[in-house]
Chains A and B, each alone.
Chain A
């Protein structure tokens, strides 16, 4: 982990209000799946860095995929190719599918952005991706995921791929015996975590989730990004940036 100056190699629209940014990869940096990058904005009035999961990492560079949701991401979307950004990486503990046989990588909306690198570094595991989006305009990274592992795409309104909510689609396939995941790795809006806990189809499957919180320092010092986690000593407010961002879903206080 260190603070680097990274060159923007690509920064383009990938969907409705969604962008992909490819950054130069510092020599020797090999992020694990589900680690993140903390980018400093050029407008000094925005004092906090912005955390993004490392979507993918190849010889080509480091990929992030982000939705424009506020002034900070809007600023980021306006950066030009060739500009440099300052960023600390890789941060967080990450997660690896290695050691599992048939992991399901489950993404809800922008949560899908954490899955490509996890799939790329899956080692001997044979992952299958389930990606759910609101509608066709919000579908991103599906081609990249298809190049890495078998991928099922669904939209809530049926405008692309299968129709329905992605947890229902996955539960359907598990119940029908089409897929037998020995672990689920998931990132998405909180509703997806609640549905995973509620649906009996997932009852016997370990589930790991990559959480997102408003962050300060990104390295574990400032304690603003905490989440209640059940530990052997009771519920503790652990740091999503440094103790996570990946936790066992059944230990997370939602």
Chain B
């Protein structure tokens, strides 16, 4: 049996990575279980300067999902490097630093900072729906996906993952653009833009009016997009969107994902990523399976 997967030369002991923004910098969950049980951790999105994020309420539960509009609140990359970088590097798991910016130069500057960190990889957040400038603005047009990926690749000596937004007409075009820009891997999907409305007040529930939809309700959308991208690019794909169980992971791998990220499920259950990783190991053991052999094996009907 084998649960190890490799992405751009980095070995993950299992394909389960925590998704950016749902796991902080790991410290909170290290009180529940050893983080070494995870394939990897993707950090909260980092920016050059500290950001206070959007006004609250920032969350609204929706059927089988939730909307969030945190707006990239984070202590800034320098604080991260001073307070979390070393600690995270000692947890026995792959560390992926997620970076975001307002303009191209921000991404380059962030990439240089992360180059000097202990992180194993960097993930480009060019798909955050909750910030007005930057974020998703870079993620929509294939030309700008390519441009920002190239800029980060030039400035960074670590493998680069470009995280794609589903809020586009053809995500495969953007996957290709990221690959052409030199991305070592792509991750998808980020949240879908959405709105929750209170009929009594006739107002959106979120202070920011709109937010990003995540949770089990987006899983079918994510699976389809992972499959579309699998057919468009050669670089490894990290799939995410509503994963709650090890069978969800298997479905994503069959659609073409080499690894997955678990996000909203951690809010429902602090042990979600841990349990999914353990269940996957049990599955691989009981079936004497190499999980790598599942990747992209989807067979279409008729």
Q: How large is the interface on B (under 10, 10 to 19, 20 to 34, 35 or more residues)?
A: 20 to 34
Q: Mark A214-254, 1 if CB is under 8 A from B, else 0.
A: 11110111111111000000011100001000000000000
A69 at the binding interface (Cβ < 8 Å): no
Chain A residues, Cβ within 8 Å of B57: 213-214, 224
Inside 8 A of A223's CB, which chain B residues have their CB?
Answer: 21, 24, 44, 53, 58, 70, 73
Taking a contact as CB atoms under 8 Å apart, the answer to whether B24 and A222 are in contact is yes
A-B contact count (CB 8 A): 98
Shortest beta-carbon distance from B233 to chain A in Å: 30
Q: Is A194 an interface residue (CB 8 A)?
A: no
Report the stretch among B159-167, B173-181, B264-272, B279-287 that lies at the interface.
B264-272
A226 and B53: CB pair below 8 A? yes
Interface membership of A78, Cβ < 8 A: no
Which residues of A lie under 8 Å from residue B296 when comparing CB positions?
none
* CB–CB A47/B52 < 8 A: no
Which residues of chain B from 1 to 50 have a CB within 8 Å of any chain A CB? 21-24, 28-29, 31-32, 44
Assuming A217-B22, A223-B73, A237-B73, is B32 touching A47 (CB within 8 A)? no
- On chain A, the number of residues with a Cβ less than 8 Å from chain B's Cβ atoms is 31
Beyond A3-B32, A45-B64, A213-B57, is A222–B270 a contact (Cβ under 8 Å)?
Answer: no
B266 and A217 form a contact (CB under 8 A): yes
Contact B270–A88 (Cβ < 8 Å): yes
The interface residues of chain B lying within 8 Å CB-to-CB of A214 are: 56-60
Closest to B24 in A: A221
* B contact face: mostly helix, strand, loop, or mixed: loop
Q: Which chain A residues numbered 18 to 42 have a C-beta less than 8 Å away from chain B? A: 40
Closest chain B residue to A225, Cβ basis = B56
Set A47, A86, A213: member contacting B66, Cβ < 8 A: A47
Are B28's CB and A221's CB within 8 A? Answer: yes
B56 and A47 form a contact (CB under 8 A)? no
Which positions 251-302 of chain B face chain A at CB distance < 8 Å? 264-271
Q: Which residues of chain B are near A236, meaning CB under 8 Å?
A: 52
The yes or no answer to B149 lying at the interface (CB within 8 A) is: no
B76 on the A face (CB < 8 A): no
Give the docked Cα–Cα distance between A219 and B30 (Å). Answer: 11
**B59 adjacent to A216 (CB under 8 Å):** yes
Determine if B58 and A47 form an interchain contact, defined as CB atoms under 8 angstroms apart: no
Tell me the B56-107 residues at the A interface (CB within 8 Å).
56-61, 63-66, 68, 70, 73
Given A214-B58, A219-B28: A3 in contact with B271 (beta carbons within 8 A): yes
Residues A222 and B63 in contact, CB atoms below 8 Å apart: no
The answer, yes or no, to whether A46 is at the interface (CB within 8 Å) is yes
Alpha-carbon distance between A242 and B59 when the two chains are bound, in angstroms:
16
| Cβ-based interface call for A149 (8 A) | no
B215 beta carbon closer than 8 Å to chain A: yes
Q: Contact: A242 with B267, CB < 8 Å?
A: no
Q: Which residues of B contact A46 (CB under 8 A)?
A: 61
Q: Of all chain A residues, which has the CB nearest B58?
A: A224
A63 to chain B, nearest CB (A): 23
> In chain B, what residue has the closest Cβ to A240?
B56
Q: Complex formed: what's the CA distance from A49 to B61 in Å?
A: 10
Q: Chain A 66-91 against B: per-residue CB contact (8 Å), 1 yes, 0 no?
A: 00000010000000000000101000
What's the Cα separation between A219 and B70 when bound, in Å? 16
- Minimum CB–CB distance from B198 to chain A (whole Å) comes to 11
Within 8 A of B (CB), among A164-202: none
Interface residues, chain B, with chain A CB atoms under 8 Å away: 21-24, 28-29, 31-32, 44, 52-53, 56-61, 63-66, 68, 70, 73, 215-216, 264-271
Among all A-B residue pairs, the 3 with the closest Cβ atoms:
A221-B24, A224-B59, A224-B58
In the complex, given contacts A47-B265, A216-B66, A222-B267, what are 10 additional A-B residue pairs having Cβ atoms less than 8 angstroms apart? A1-B31, A46-B61, A47-B61, A47-B267, A48-B59, A221-B24, A222-B70, A223-B73, A224-B56, A226-B53
Binding site for B on A (CB under 8 A): 1-3, 40, 44-49, 72, 86, 88, 213-217, 219-227, 235-237, 242
